[in-house]
Each structure stands twice: as structure tokens, then as C-alpha cells.
Amino acid sequence: MRFSAIAFDLDGTLYPNYRLNIRIAPFLLRHWPLAAAFGRARGRIRREQEEALKQKAAGNRLPEPASFYEHQAELVAAMLNRPPAEIKAAIEDKIYRAWAEHFRGIRLFSYVRECLEVFRSRGLPLALLSDFPPDIKLRNLGIMDFFSLTLCSEELGALKPDPLPFMELARRLNLPPEKILYVGNSLSYDAEGALRTGMQAALVGSAVWKKPPRRQDSLFYFRSYRQLQSYVLS
């Protein structure tokens, strides 16, 4: 096999995003100011990360990075004109914990479980790297036991596509990046971050796609997890 381990994103990769969006729509309506500010803050953090990478490439010294969660809370608090400690607690309670509970009973993409079982039976280590804390979600989805390693990019200090969490993923798998396939659904976050660190990437598309699976350099596009299974085992 061309890969020594398979790593996955979670949201929008193992299940269709719309299935979660339907469930959390009432929450978003009730807590729209917090949810909207949270989204804007994460966009700003990603822009800051990109600028830091450019400065590092130019040989410039960078200040010691702030704690991810503290910085995120400060950005959201400034947008909402609320104390950062209050906002940090609200994010933990209303976003991280509350959203995870909505994963109970969400139906995965077709053949995901079959695909994970086949990979595991072939001795391939399975890992998961998500921007959001994944463990409660995976337990509620009923697939936690498939993964020997789960990582949250936030806890590592940077959101995808920053190379840091992908490099840590390779380090903890004890593998060179080129022997890892990272499976996601976002070209900008998942594929970009994986390819930056030398991994290969696979992107799942919407179930309504009519295009056949295709490979482009180190990037494989697929619409069915059986296609991914064939690609990995061929």
C-alpha cells in the first residue's frame, strides 16, 4: 500500500454538513451574536497565521504566540463588548459542549464505517485531526474506537491550514508526512494544510457530484467512501 496511516478531518468529512446544520439551526438563532462573532474571530486568526508564516519565511523574528483560547476569547469579546473571561466560558459552554451533543444519531456518509473497518483490518493506523475538539463528537457518532490517535488543532495552538497541527500529527504517528493520507472536505483548510507538510490529501465531495473520482498531483477527489477504499488499497 502507498500509505502507512490514514488521517481524517471530522466535520463535513465523515458526515454531510447539512445534517448538523439542520440540528443546530435553532441554537444559531438563539445565540446568533456569539456564533457570528466566533466565526469572524476564527477567520481573523487564520489570517494572522498566514501573515506569521510569511514573516517567518522572510526570516523575521516573531513574538511569542498568545494562548489560542485566550486570544480567541479576546477577539470575540472585543466584537461583543463583553469581558473576555465571560466570553471564554460562553464559548466553552454554548459552542464546544452544546454542539457536540447534537452529534447523537447523525448519519455518517455511506460506507464510512465499512471503510474504517477495512482499513483497520489491513493494519493501517487511523487518526483524526479536527479544528474542533473531536472526542465527544466521535463517541456520539459511535466511531471513537476506530481511531488510535485524535488531535484538536486548537489545543495545539493553530487552526488548519497552518502546518503546525499536521506536523504534530505526523510526529505522533511516528511517520514521515509523505506516508500519511489526510482525508478532508475543504480544499483551503484540509488539503492545503496537508500538502504544505508533504502529506497527500483526499477530498470528499457532495453526494450530488456526477464527476468520477480523479487524482491531481498529490490530491485525490472522491464522492464515495468505497472509491477512497479502492484508492488506498490499490
Average pLDDT over residues 109-134: 97
Check whether residue 93 and residue 26 sit in a common domain.
Answer: yes
Check whether residue 169 and residue 205 sit in a common domain.
Answer: yes
Check whether residue 81 and residue 137 sit in a common domain.
Answer: no
Check whether residue 137 and residue 29 sit in a common domain.
Answer: no
Check whether residue 56 and residue 136 sit in a common domain.
Answer: no
* Long-range contacts, stretch 63-66, CB < 8 angstroms, 24+ apart: 65/157
Strand 214-216: give its sheet, edge to edge.
149-152, 126-130, 5-8, 180-184, 200-204, 219-222, 214-216
CATH number, residue 219 = 3.40.50.1000
Give the tens place of pLDDT for each residue, 158-194: 999 999 999 999 999 999 999 999 999 999 999 999 9
Give the tens place of pLDDT for each residue, 98-107: 888 889 889 9
Check whether residue 91 and residue 131 sit in a common domain.
Answer: no
Average pLDDT over residues 22-50: 94
Q: Pick 210 or 184 by higher pLDDT.
A: 184
What CA–CA distance (Å, rounded) separates 99 from 196?
Answer: 30
Number of domains in the chain: 2
- Residue 139: which domain range? 5-15+109-233
Q: Hey, how many other C-beta atoms are within 10 angstroms of the C-beta on 124?
A: 18
Check whether residue 117 and residue 178 sit in a common domain.
Answer: yes
Check whether residue 79 and residue 130 sit in a common domain.
Answer: no
Give the tens place of pLDDT for each residue, 7-34: 999 999 999 999 999 998 998 899 999 9
